[in-house]
Chain A
Amino acid sequence: MTAYDKVRTARSTSRPTTQDYIASMFTGFIELHGDRRYRDDEAIIGGLAYLGDKPVTVIGIEKGHDTIERMRRSFGAPEPEGYRKALRLMKQAEKFRRPVVCFVDTSGAYCGIGAEERGQGQAIAENLMEMMALRIPTVSILIGEGGSGGALALAVSDKVWMLENAVYSVISPEGCASILYKDASEAPKAAESLRLTAEDALSLGVAERVISEDGIGTEDFYGRLAEELYGELEALGHETDLPGTRYQRFRAFGR
């Protein structure tokens, strides 16, 4: 598979979305809405759930399944309120000492007049700053697209995992190609150069683990992933200085 084949796979509307992971890996999910400032952004889902016997806060970017739902969820492009809701729920998790699990799947933060008026840049910046200092374990799993700052705003975590066909990039290959080659159809070439596949992220140290997509969407697949996640949260639960270790994890890039 070429890098661009992976981009296409990552974007496929037939892939499981955050809701599917929540429904299949966790029990007793109670969705919590809103940023307590302005509105509820449905591009991000968050709430309380059990992973096995472990209470956790689970948050994820949701693209939706059918056209009507996808529109309601802005095709998984969060507005500032989505990021602020996510941060509110992370702070709540910290208060009650439970870990946070984030599912990331976005082509990027929402691009619009309202999003700019309500501080899209500020909302992302605040998440980056605050996630770095959370005193609870955090794991982010990229399940599809990891589009730039809009994805990173839910991925300043202790561990970052990527599905085998997920991608993570600073710019879309189309955007990169239209700037570099003045031609968006050169996207496959740009995709190679950007090194955006899960394997690339692993070799760059941006991701800790690549999740095999064998049997993706089956009970076995979710069961295996839930088990690995449980083990990871257990291990992180024994760490004494999570913010310090997390800072060093990100500090290492470009040292």
Chain B
Amino acid sequence: MALRFTRKPENELEKEGRSLEPHAGETEYVCPNCHRTLPETTLDDNQWVCSCGHHFRISARRRIRMLTDEGSFSELFASIESTDPLSFPGYQEKLEKARKASGEKESVVTGTARIDGMEAAIFVMSPEFMMGSMGAATGEKITLLFEYATERGLPVVGWTVSGGARMQEGLMSLMQMAKTSGAVKRHSDRGLLYITVLTDPTTGGVTASFAMEGDIIVAEPGATVGFAGRRVVEQTTMESLPRDFQTSEFILAHGFADIITPRGDEKRMIAELLRFHGGQA
């Protein structure tokens, strides 16, 4: 499936795909790339990929349903949730909103699942929870998952979505970059496999820690992947940026991802990689 990237979305909201008023009882979405109107059932049938190739952002639970064996997901560390370590003004309200919007307690869901029969520890970040920003609880869940996988000799597969650090947690957010990296390192030193799947968007402190630490880095087509924000780079350099700047295709071309895999083929690819590294169904 070739991705035709006609234009960059104007802003983050547009990129998510606008939802329209329900039509004949069904919610419809406008593809931010080709502007087609798509009924929810059509998107569901196509793993939330438009026929133009645009990959919609999807929730952690939907992704787990789509990419793991039916009924195999067993959630771990579900009770861990953000606190407000700095008593940051307005943060409690923000958290409450994020919890309502996402139905999650934190920006990442962790657990074990089978993929084509093979067991793996998985983490899936959630775009609806403050755009996957990394709070202390996010880092804690990911660290616990790596420790769990290290003890049991399991591979880790992680889907990243993140706007970066969570500024309302200040240094406690920053320290998660070091903490998760340490947990990845210990897992790696035991000879265990870690696959990251970069999805739209993966930026900031998550890019500069566990997203880029996979043995094998898979990226979904057209995802934004980078460290500094596009607008910040634009403002700092005052240069016009290449059209494909900070996309999956761009980072693959520059040597920072292994494979670009369309979502429709993602499960097969991950299963193949797990099997190659000794995964048994």
In this assembly, does B11 line the interface, its C-beta being within 8 Å of a C-beta of chain A?
A: no
Q: List 25 A-B contacts (CB under 8 A).
A: A109-B208, A112-B236, A116-B227, A116-B228, A118-B254, A121-B226, A125-B213, A128-B177, A128-B178, A129-B185, A129-B213, A132-B182, A133-B185, A148-B205, A149-B174, A149-B208, A152-B175, A156-B182, A168-B174, A170-B165, A170-B174, A171-B167, A251-B182, A253-B172, A253-B179
Per the bound structure, the CA–CA distance linking A204 and B212 in Å amounts to: 27
A254 touches B179 (CB 8 A): yes
Kindly specify which of A9-17, A24-32, A98-106, A191-199 makes contact with the partner chain: A191-199
B170 touches A129 (CB 8 A): no
In this assembly, does B273 line the interface, its C-beta being within 8 Å of a C-beta of chain A?
A: no
For A118, the chain B residues whose CB sits under 8 A away are 254
- Binary contact track A54-65/B, C-beta < 8 Å → 1, others 0: 000000000000
Which one, A112, A148, A168, A200, contacts B237 given CB within 8 A? A112
For B136, the chain A residues whose CB sits under 8 A away are 253-254
Per the bound structure, the CA–CA distance linking A255 and B181 in Å amounts to: 15
Which one, B86, B182, B233, contacts A129 given CB within 8 A? B182
List the 9 closest pairs (A to B, CB-CB), nearest first.
A254-B136, A121-B207, A128-B181, A121-B227, A253-B175, A124-B208, A132-B182, A125-B212, A111-B228
User: How far is the CB of A91 from the nearest CB of chain B, in Å?
Assistant: 14
A125 touches B208 (CB 8 A): yes
A113 touches B175 (CB 8 A): no
Number of interface residues of B (CB under 8 A): 59
Binding site for B on A (CB under 8 A): 109, 111-113, 115-122, 124-126, 128-130, 132-133, 148-149, 152-153, 156, 168-171, 176, 179-180, 193-196, 200-201, 204, 206, 246-247, 250-251, 253-255
Decide: A168 near B213, CB < 8 A? Known: A113-B242, A120-B208, A251-B179: no
Per the bound structure, the CA–CA distance linking A170 and B137 in Å amounts to: 16
In this assembly, does B211 line the interface, its C-beta being within 8 Å of a C-beta of chain A?
A: yes
B237 touches A193 (CB 8 A): no
In this assembly, does B262 line the interface, its C-beta being within 8 Å of a C-beta of chain A?
A: no
B86 touches A254 (CB 8 A): no
B181 touches A129 (CB 8 A): yes
For B89, the chain A residues whose CB sits under 8 A away are 193
